[in-house]
Amino acid sequence: MEPAGLYDLPPTAISRELFFNVGGPHGFMRWGVYLFLLASLLFLGYTLWVRIRLWRKGQSEACSDHPLRRLHLVVKYVLLQAKVMREGYTGLMHASLFYGFVALTFVTGMIVLQEDISAPLFDVRFIYGNFYLIWSLLADLFGLALLGGLGLAAYRRYIVRPGRLDTRPTDTLALLLLALIVVTGFFSEAMRIAITGFPPFEVFSPVGFMLAQALTPLGAETLRALHYGNWWLHMLASFGFIGLVASGKLGHIVIATLNIYFGRLDNECPATLYSSTLIRPDEFETADTFGATTVTDFSWKQLLDVDACTRCGRCQDHCPAWLTDKPLSPKLLVNAIQGSLQALAGGGDNKPLVGNYVQLDEIWSCTNCAACMEVCPVNIEQVPKVLELRRARVLMEGEMAPELQRTFVNLENNGNPYGFAFAKRGDWLPDDLGFKTLAEDPDVDYLYFAGCAAAYDKRNQRTAIAFMRILKQAGYKVGILGPEEVCCGDSALRAGNEYLFQTLAGKNLESFARYGVRKAVVTCPHGLNTLKKEYRKFAALGVAEDGSPLRYDISVEHHTQVIHRLLKEDRIRLKQQPAQKITYHDSCFLGRYNDILDTPREILAAIPGSEVVEMERHGKNSFCCGAGGSRMWLEESLGSRINQTRTREAQATVADLISTACPFCSTMLSDGVKELAIDTLETRDIAELVYEAMEK
């Protein structure tokens, strides 16, 4: 049965007077609504115009293409709250606030649609009968949800008080204003129901109906006076809210939505996720500055980025630097840049960021793990800002740690960060494999881009050799570049020395083109990420030494992807192994940057006798080993050691082995085991474990 059928009334009688007790639909209040709404919108427009003028002090950046894809981002991250809903308590809290607010906006919008458009223009009314009953019920239910969300927010902010939150007066004002709107709305509803004699269909406004019973003893005359004042208070609060949605704490409603709309579309696809924005090669000859020295050196979108921060602290809660007592907090870094922007807006000087708003140790503590970007609900990009600040220090000031300077010299002179002779880059490859360099035989199924760790580090050479033996057993013919290979350039790029990165990338791309390389495989996630993403971008911008365009037409895979396929195709088979517990450590550049999460786990689970146990932080929520962002080549002198924190997490699983799929992670966790003197734990790459278990 339809709801209206419960009452012996014509459908049009199941409704209410929408401007009850305030002069009716043609009284002063109708014009008062327009005047207050106009004032609110003018204030909103002014505050937004002030912010836009401030953002425009940044450099140009094109990010308005593909409007439909951008609207999809808004649906995903704003309407569906994709990132916010990952957290239990705060997800429920924010969902109650957001969906309660959206629903009540819809309820109010229906009044505007009828009273200001359909009724005066077309004599059409629809808020009656079944629609009215459902509309009233939803308004009360979502009003309760909003109040519940406000209660959860207040409890968390003022009672629990987690360290990641910093409460300001504007935060309190936002909560109080929302509470005032909902409470006055319920009281207006209750007093109207009591004054009009409790129409039976008003039980579809359950909150108002029950509250009306408590208010009835006040009498009709008193209730009318209270209703009139309460109605005005509700209106003023509502219009105040509209005016403030681009200001203070409420500003994230508009500004965060804009930030998501203008966000990088690259970050929605694993093939381009978190890829770096590169300097055009010709700019090294023409540009006066590189990176960000002052706040106006950032792009306008990056300035919108810092303004969109809601200070929720999720990034800080997941930052390995902050969690090991280093000075970097992604939230505080973004807020510091915003502080510089605010100072500029107030007439202050455009001071250098480092030394005034940001400390040097902050920008060098970042491991580029991207955990901050992964969890940010409004898609702020913290890591690119760190890279811009590093670029300015390295390219403009020539300022870097001594060990990093040594790394750059090694890369320039020998093509590897270790400083070993480039001529010995292929010496790790055993003769019995029968694999050759491409110079000797370019007709191969795969180029194995060994990377520096596999070429020179004995621990990681074992991984490379095991993987090569797996490929040989599967019948693949593989070649290497040997002395013609140079570092992929990841460490140079992420340390801010992009000129050096482009030099290294150009050499490798020319080698790929010279031998017609179409398929490459790597055992290093940093190499995977750089070759797949940054090389593609660089090839589109740069030219070869002879002036011809750089070519990029290769597919690049990680060794876990290849091994997984070989197992699925039954090209290699595994035999029973001694029972062992294995915990898998997700490399940031494999899992978070390239979304390769299940593949390594499925390989380990396929080894007979193995039991895979997870660390508390795993998958996209994994904890960094501490080596990314060029930290592999820098001393860790501040706070506690990141690799030891991660090693303890592995130890807590009571596993026998930590399995890795990254040479940096392997080194850092092996060191962690030694530093903590854990005799019961060993670190092995997936390729080693598979080769040992393989039927030969």
User: How far apart (Å, rounded) are the C-alpha atoms in residues 276 and 382?
Assistant: 12
Neighbouring C-alpha atoms within 13 Å toward the C-beta of 6: 13
> Helices 598-605 and 559-568 meet at what angle, rounded to 10?
50
Asked if residue 187 has pLDDT above 70, the reply is: yes
The token pair at 454 is 């596999």
| pLDDT greater than 90 at residue 547 | no
Query: Taking a C-beta distance cutoff of 8 angstroms, is the pair 433, 479 a contact?
Result: no
Q: Where are the alpha helices (DSSP H) in 196-251?
A: 206-215, 220-243
| Pairing status of strand 555-558 against strand 519-522 | parallel
Q: How many Å separate Cα 600 from the centre of its chain? A: 23
Specify the pLDDT at position 29: 67
* pLDDT at site 33: 81
Q: Write the burial class of residue 260 (CB in 10 Å: 0-12 exposed, 13-18 middle, 19+ buried).
A: buried
In this model, does residue 371 exceed pLDDT 60?
yes
For the chain, percent of residues with pLDDT exceeding 70: 99
Judge contact between 560 and 524, C-beta under 8 A: no
CA distance 605 to 612: 6
**DSSP state, residue 574:** B
Rounded Cα distance between 373 and 357, Å, is: 21
Q: Decide if 418 contacts 321 (C-beta within 8 A).
A: no
Say whether 582 sits in a helix, a strand or coil. strand
Three-class SS of 360-407:
HHHHHHCCCCCHHHHHCCCCCCHHHHHHHHHHHHHHHCCCCCHHHHHH
pLDDT, mean of residues 634-657: 96
In the prediction, which pLDDT does 3 show?
87
Q: How far is CA 34 from CA 46, 129, 520, in A?
A: 18, 28, 65
Q: How far apart are CA 630 and CA 252, in angstroms?
A: 34
So what's the pLDDT on residue 47?
Answer: 95
Q: What is the pLDDT of residue 34?
A: 83
Q: What is the percentage of the chain residues whose pLDDT exceeds 90?
A: 89
Per residue in 430-454, pLDDT tens?
999 999 999 999 999 999 999 999 9
Task: Write the single-letter amino acid at 211.
Answer: L
Q: Give pLDDT tens digits for 112-154.
A: 899 889 998 999 999 999 999 999 999 999 999 999 999 999 9
Judge whether 378 and 256 are in contact, CB under 8 Å.
Answer: yes
Residues in the chain, total: 696
Specify the pLDDT at position 25: 60
Beta bridge partners of residue 659, listed in sequence order: 584, 684
Of 23-37, 488-502, 534-548, 669-683, least confident by mean pLDDT is: 23-37
Q: Please report how many Cα atoms fall inside a 13 Å half-sphere around the Cα of residue 464, on the Cβ side.
A: 29
**Domains of the chain by range and CATH?**
29-47+65-259 (1.20.950), 274-396 (1.10.1060), 416-564 (3.40.50.1860), 573-693 (3.40.50)
Give the amino acid at 147: L
The angle subtended at Cα 91 by Cα 335 and Cα 264, nearest 5°, is 50
Average of pLDDT values for 197-226? 96
pLDDT above 90 (res 636) = yes
Q: What is the pLDDT of residue 100?
A: 96
| pLDDT confidence tier of residue 4, bands split at 50, 70 and 90 | confident
Residue type, 420: F
The average pLDDT across 470-484 equals 96
Asked whether the predicted pLDDT for residue 1 surpasses 60, the reply is: no
pLDDT in tens, 12-56: 999 998 889 887 666 666 777 888 889 999 999 999 999 999 999
Backbone phi and psi for residue 478, each to the nearest 5 degrees, phi listed first: -125, 145
Nearest CA-CA partner of 668 in 467, 453, 495: 453
Q: What pLDDT, on a 0 to 100 scale, did the predictor assign at position 116?
A: 87
Residue 291 pLDDT greater than 70, yes or no: yes
Q: How far is residue 456's CA from residue 192's CA, in Å, rounded to a whole number?
A: 81
Binned at pLDDT 50, 70 and 90, residue 544 comes out as confident
Residue 64: the pLDDT is: 92
Rounded CA gap, 513 and 549, in Å? Answer: 11
Q: Is the pLDDT of residue 337 over 80?
A: yes
Q: Can you give the pTM of this predicted structure? A: 0.93
The pLDDT score that the predictor gives to residue 605 is 97
SS3 content of the chain, % helix, strand, coil (to 5): 60, 5, 35
**Cβ neighbours for 450, distance < 8 A, ≥ 6 positions apart:** 425, 426, 428, 464, 480, 481, 485, 522, 523
Q: Report the pLDDT averaged over residues 538-565.
A: 91
Residues paired with residue 448 on neighbouring β-strands, in sequence order = 521
**Which of 391, 392, 635 shows the shortest CA–CA distance to 495?**
391
Which tokens belong to 686?
């997936």
Quote the pLDDT of residue 613. Answer: 98
List the strands of the sheet with 478-480, edge to edge: 436-437, 478-480, 446-448, 519-522, 555-558
Count of C-beta atoms within a 10 Å radius of residue 637: 9
Per-residue pLDDT, averaged over 594-619, amounts to 97
